[in-house]
Amino acid sequence: MTLNIGVIGTGVIGQNHIRRLGHVVSGTRVTAVSDVDTGRAQAVADKLSDIPTVHATGQELINDPRVDAVVVTSWGPTHEEYVLAGIAAGKQVFCEKPLATTRQACERILDAEIAAGRRLVSVGFMRRYDTQYREMKDVMGRGDIGAPLMMHAAHRNPSVPDHYTSDMIINDTVVHEIDIARWMFDDEIAAITVLTPRRSSKAREGFNDPLLVLLEMSGGVVVDVEAAVTIAYGYDVRGEIVCESGTVELSESPGPIVKRAGQYTGRVPSDWGERFADAFDIEFQAWADAVGAGTTTGPSSWDGYAATVACDAGLEALRTERRVPIVMRDRPDLYA
């Protein structure tokens, strides 16, 4: 059976996922699209061989009986409305991160899903599907390098657009390390601290780049995250976990290392699309297979809620220059 997907938001990642759902993932086809800019949605639809219906609104798309499941790739502040509408319609929803931009909005989604009595939402934290992160978790789980003590992480972007703010370094960049830390250690974050190192000369006045973020996990592991978003040389995601008797780290380069004339070189990806292309493919195949089988998989609304709460605390830590404890509501049974 082919799963008919409606995509809300036809910007950069929306177009990326439309291509993926049409040409990479098996068992899916995009039958409907919408965007706040209907002209853009139409232009995107017109380029596809199997032209989808263009809806004037996301709500209309969700109510389309020819849409079996919904992918939300619009601007973050619009996610709550579409995810809640998807739940109300009883349809599976894949929502790009963030699940929603405030703690309260995430809680409304949790409450709606709990009232529906089953998981209907999956959040796009695609790093959980990256082969290297998965192998890292497997190595650590085997236990032969001892218990984890610390993780050093770095998230470096070559550049960001002019509208990118210091808050977005937490909400849009470090949010991925926040999710990875929770997933990697099967643990919640107890407190967050944000340090502001010397400002890069590439960062405009008032823009705090880079940031150094400390995540204290409830079980005692400490994760330091360097976030540097004007680093120029490429998109570089680093990670090393220090355990009691060994370490495990992500590879330096996704491709081969070439040694020649006394030097060695490897490729640095240009952006997140290149670095995590395979992870997105695997993530969507897993989601489509699960939805086709009448269930869902992947990061849940609880994971989306936890990430947003941690980001809120991170923003407070950035503003106050203080360590901020993270307080969440009790985890509902639906997300056990």
Closest separation in Å from C-beta 287 to ligand NAP = 13
Among 7, 8, 100, 313, indicate the residue that binds ligand NAP (CB under 6 A). 8
Closest separation in Å from C-beta 277 to ligand NAP = 11
126 binds ligand NAP (CB under 6 A): yes
10 binds ligand NAP (CB under 6 A): yes
Q: Which span (36-44, 147-155, 210-218, 286-294) binds ligand NAP, by CB under 6 A? A: 36-44
Q: Which is nearer to ligand NAP, 84 or 243 (CB)?
A: 84
- Give the binding-site size for ligand NAP (rule: CB under 6 A): 24
Among 4, 38, 59, 78, indicate the residue that binds ligand NAP (CB under 6 A). 78
In a 10 Å sphere around its CB, with 0-12 CB exposed, 13-18 middle and 19+ buried, how is residue 231 labelled? buried
Report residue 165 as tokens: 């703010």
Residue 238 DSSP one-character state: E
Cβ neighbour number for residue 167 with a 10 Å cutoff: 14
Q: Which residues lie closer than 8 Å to 119 by C-beta, 6 or more apart? A: 113, 295, 296, 300, 301, 334, 335
Among 64, 68, 96, 209, indicate the residue that binds ligand NAP (CB under 6 A). 96
Closest separation in Å from C-beta 333 to ligand NAP = 28
Among 74, 122, 132, 193, indicate the residue that binds ligand NAP (CB under 6 A). 74
11 binds ligand NAP (CB under 6 A): yes
Q: Which is nearer to ligand NAP, 148 or 304 (CB)?
A: 304
Closest separation in Å from C-beta 73 to ligand NAP = 5
Q: Which is nearer to ligand NAP, 13 or 229 (CB)?
A: 13
Closest separation in Å from C-beta 27 to ligand NAP = 22
35 binds ligand NAP (CB under 6 A): yes
307/188 Cα distance (integer angstroms): 10
Report residue 158 as tokens: 């070559």
| Rounded CA Rg of the chain | 20
Q: Which residues lie closer than 8 Å to 241 by C-beta, 6 or more apart? A: 136, 140, 148, 150, 151, 184, 247, 248, 249
Q: Which residue is nearest to ligand NAP (CB)?
A: 11
Helix intervals (H) in 24-155: 38-46, 58-63, 79-88, 103-116, 131-142
Cβ neighbour number for residue 215 with a 10 Å cutoff: 26
239/134 Cα distance (integer angstroms): 12
> Which of these, 17, 11, 12, 125, lies nearest to 69 by C-alpha position?
17
283 binds ligand NAP (CB under 6 A): no
Q: Which residues lie closer than 8 Å to 245 by C-beta, 6 or more apart? A: 145, 146
6 binds ligand NAP (CB under 6 A): no
Contact pattern from residue 220 through residue 259 relative to ligand NAP, giving x for each residue in contact according to CB under 6 A and a dash for the rest: ----------------------------------------
Q: Which is nearer to ligand NAP, 58 or 304 (CB)?
A: 58
Half-sphere exposure of 299 (CA within 13 A, CB side): 28
Closest separation in Å from C-beta 59 to ligand NAP = 9
57/36 Cα distance (integer angstroms): 7
130 binds ligand NAP (CB under 6 A): no
Q: Which residues bind ligand NAP (CB under 6 A)?
A: 8-14, 34-37, 40, 58, 73-76, 78, 96-97, 124, 126, 172, 272
